[in-house]
Amino acid sequence: MTILREMTPKSSALVAFFALTFLFSWSLWLPQVALEAGFETGIVPADGALEAVASLPEVGAFGPAVAAFVLVGISRGRSGIVRLLKRAVDRSFDRRWFVPILVLFPAVAVIGVGVSLAFGGEPTYPWAGELPALPIAFIWILFLGGPLQEEFGWRGYALEPLLERFGALGGSLGLGFVWGVWHLPWFYMPTMDLYYQRPLIGFVITITLLSVVMTWVYANTGGSLLAMLLMHASFNWALWAFPAIETGAGGQAFIFFMLVIVAVIVVRHGTSDFGTPRTTADSTS
């Protein structure tokens, strides 16, 4: 991953990335939140502008990607942008990693649904009676449901400097927390069905744990953004297809098993580098 280290942004650039990401996304989301809360300035042009922004198509989710490409373009030029794009089609990693990339989160979601059913829950399956909707939904989610909009930023730009400064676990937890908070306006936007008026704390915990698991895969696939795009899509798709989080029991089970996965990763690899197994010396030092 030498090339990735050479491209690692400095701390000031990382701050700029987060600032630009939040500025782009929240400036497009907060008008919807304000209108939902009944906010009015009493100034006709200002209120008209607020309504105009709120009625725009959902492009706020592109904040992380926009920030990454802008900053890479400024610091590395066209060649840097091309390198970032190439990482999204990098298939040079061991093909066995496609198993956790595509299967791990659906398996956890299915277990969560099972726990929900055991406690009397009745999850609703949006694809019931329409099996072709499952692969179609995965493709839609991959391109329009988060991964493509976000991963060039979170894992493509921000992760490496955080890993270098705080280690695998610390960097992942920090990025996961910021990633979760970035979604905050969605919990007050009626158009975001999966998030609107749902518990925020549980979501932030889940996303932070997801960040750790994704760093584990990232470290073992040579920083492939293709792996990150597919894993992010797999996570979102799993919770759509097998809605474990619709009930309290299912949601708690899902978080519990995510915690178990993170614990196994840390026990096996330690906290500094998820790309190498933990040695006896590491565990006794």
The dihedral formed by the CA atoms of 51, 55, 60 and 61, expressed in degrees to the nearest 10:
140
DSSP 43: -
Q: Are 209 and 255 in contact (CB under 8 A)?
A: yes
- The reported pLDDT for the residue numbered 280 is 47
Asked if 24 and 63 count as a contact pair (C-beta separation under 8 A), the reply is yes
Q: How far apart are CA 275 and CA 258, in angstroms?
A: 19
* pLDDT digit string, tens, across residues 112-155: 999 999 999 988 899 988 999 999 999 999 999 999 999 999 99
Query: Token digits for 161?
Result: 């400097």
| 52-103 pLDDT tens trace | 776 666 899 999 999 999 999 999 999 999 999 999 998 999 999 999 999 9
> pLDDT tens digit string along 250-272?
999 999 999 999 999 999 999 99
In angstroms, the CA 257 to CA 108 distance is 7
Do residues 17 and 75 touch, judged by C-beta distance below 8 A? no
Q: What is the pLDDT of residue 191?
A: 82
Rounded to an integer, what distance in angstroms lies between the CA atom of residue 177 and that of residue 141? Answer: 22
What count of other Cβ atoms lies within 10 Å of the Cβ of residue 182?
A: 23
Helix (H, G, I), strand (E, B) or coil at 85: helix
Please provide the average confidence, as pLDDT, over all residues in the chain: 90
- pLDDT single digits (tens) 193-240: 778 778 889 999 999 999 999 999 999 999 999 999 999 999 999 999
Cβ within 8 Å of residue 235, ≥6 positions away: 105, 210
